Amino acid sequence: MTERAVVLGAGSWGTAFAKVLGDAGNQVTIWSRRPEVADAINERHVNPDYLPQTRLPDQVDATSDAASAIRGADLVVLAVPSQTLRSNLAEWRDLIGPAATLISLMKGIELGTTRRMSEVICEVAGVEQDRVVVVSGPNLAPEIAQEQPAATVVACSDPGRATLVQKSMTTRYLRPYTNDDVIGCELGGAVKNVIALAYGMAAALGFGDNTRATLVTRGLAETARLGVALGADPLTFAGLAGLGDLVATCASPLSRNRSFGERLGRGETLEQAQAATRQTAEGVKSCLSIRDLARKHEVEMPITEQVERVCHEGVDPQAALVALMSRETKPE
């Protein structure tokens, strides 16, 4: 099925996802904040800043004029940092057609409001939740751009819309599965970034596979606890948007969150790590909003609590680990 799509955001995942949509046969326009990135995509079919080795398909073009790109689009893909989504979308909402599907690629929780990205989209764009589709799974952008085989989840409360998006983004290298658990898929994607920060810290401190497996497993346990409190299906956390993405992000040197955690584990301050990182490591901010969400729902999230202390309260990663290990013992 051929759709007209706009991808708002020309970072790593926005660009790789535009390639997926183009390879699946859609006509795609990428909106880039910077005109020179749009020019490079139009002239050379590459995004030199984020995926310089990847040739984008002929069906993908780019512009820095959001209005011309959004008008008439069937699929409006949001690929900006979670914390800027609200202000970005406020500028775009009046341009989005009444039948368009809004697709969220973002993996974060909004600071202050503790809203999931699909909730922010519904609120700001004034659309019902059945028009919003969440795409989440083990999808490191550079690997997808290289066409390495992977699967992902397309979550929507409207099964028909989920199937439509699934069909429009199926390629020989990306296999999307539909799911109706939007809450679970969004939480899986947001919390895994926080656990990957902890994993990176543990790796930098020299801890081996027992420590790492413990963080992944207990990280998934606290993700599922929060998810269930918010109405998610616990089985979602055993799937691609849960365990799948958690394992990929923790294990991969390509992960910005894991790499950021490694910097903190090596003793860099938050400011030093931020200065060295150009791309979005969502967990650094979302650890605050996820901790707040957990407290609001009286859910224990000890790893998230400690990641927040390291990132925002200047606690030493080693001390955070001691705090985790000295908690009262309990049943699994």
Ligand X SMILES: NC(=O)C1=CN([C@@H]2O[C@H](COP(=O)(O)OP(=O)(O)OC[C@H]3O[C@@H](n4cnc5c(N)ncnc54)[C@H](O)[C@@H]3O)[C@@H](O)[C@H]2O)C=CC1
Ligand Y SMILES: O=C(CO)COP(=O)(O)O
- 3 state SS of 61: strand
14 binds ligand Y, rule: CB under 6 A:
no
- Smallest separation, CB 249 to ligand Y (Å): 5
The residue annotated as part of the active site, out of 192, 285, 296, 330, is 192
* 138 near ligand Y, rule: CB under 6 A: yes
Q: How far is CA 151 from CA 91, 142, 143, 180, 241, in A?
A: 32, 14, 12, 16, 10
- DSSP designation for 55: P
Q: Which is nearer to ligand X, 12 or 63 (CB)?
A: 12
304 touching ligand Y, by CB under 6 A: no
Which range touches ligand Y (CB under 6 A), out of 27-35, 91-99, 133-141, 319-327? 133-141
69 contributes a contact to ligand Y by CB under 6 A: no
The SS3 call for residue 108 is coil
Give the nearest distance from C-beta 245 to ligand X in angstroms: 8
Toward ligand X, which CB reaches closer, 13 or 260? Answer: 13
The residue among 124 and 321 lying less far from ligand X, judged by its C-beta, is 124
Question: Has 192 been annotated as catalytic?
Answer: yes
Q: Which of 107, 116, 131, 263 binds ligand Y (CB under 6 A)?
A: 107
Q: Which of 115, 131, 256, 291 binds ligand Y (CB under 6 A)?
A: 256
Residue of 255, 286, 289, 304 that binds ligand Y (CB under 6 A): 255
Q: Give the Cα separation of 301 and 287 in Å (integer).
A: 10
State the alpha helices, DSSP H only, in 29-109.
35-44, 66-70, 85-92
Nearer to ligand X among residue 62 and residue 162 (C-beta): 62
Residue in the structure block whose two tokens are 């800027």 = 84
Spatial distance between the Cα atoms of 31 and 81, rounded to a whole number of angstroms: 14
Q: Report in angstroms the alpha-carbon separations of 49 from 15, 34, 244, 252, 278.
A: 10, 11, 28, 21, 10
Task: Give the count of alpha carbons within 13 A of 135, CB side only.
Answer: 32
List of residues 6+ apart from 226 with CB closer than 8 A? 187, 191, 290, 293, 294, 297, 299, 301
Contact window for ligand Y (CB under 6 A) among 77-85, 179-187, 228-236, 253-261:
253-261
Judged by beta carbon distances under 5 to 8 A according to partner kind, the member of ligand X, ligand Y, none in contact with residue 166 is none
**199 annotated as a binding-site residue:** no
Q: Cα 211 vs. chain centroid, distance in angstroms? A: 25
Q: Which of 158, 155, 152 is nearest to 138 (CA)?
A: 152
C-alpha to C-alpha distance for 12 and 181, rounded to whole angstroms: 26
The Cβ-side half-sphere exposure at 45, using a 13 Å CA radius, reads: 9
- Read off the tokens for 83: 């914390």
Q: Which does 138 bind (CB under 5 to 8 A by kind): ligand X, ligand Y, none?
A: ligand Y
Q: Which of 28, 140, 162, 273 binds ligand Y (CB under 6 A)?
A: 140
Here's the x/- map for ligand Y, 168-207, by CB under 6 A: it reads as: -------------------------x--x-----------
Q: Which is nearer to ligand Y, 62 or 144 (CB)?
A: 144
Contacts with ligand X, residue ranges (CB under 6 A): 9-14, 33, 50, 79-82, 84, 88, 105-108, 139-141, 279-280, 282
Q: Residues in the site for ligand Y, rule: CB under 6 A?
A: 107, 138-140, 193, 196, 245, 248-249, 255-257
- Enumerate the active-site residues: 192
Q: Which amino acids are annotated as binding site for sn-glycerol 3-phosphate, given as ranges?
A: 107, 137, 192, 245, 255-257
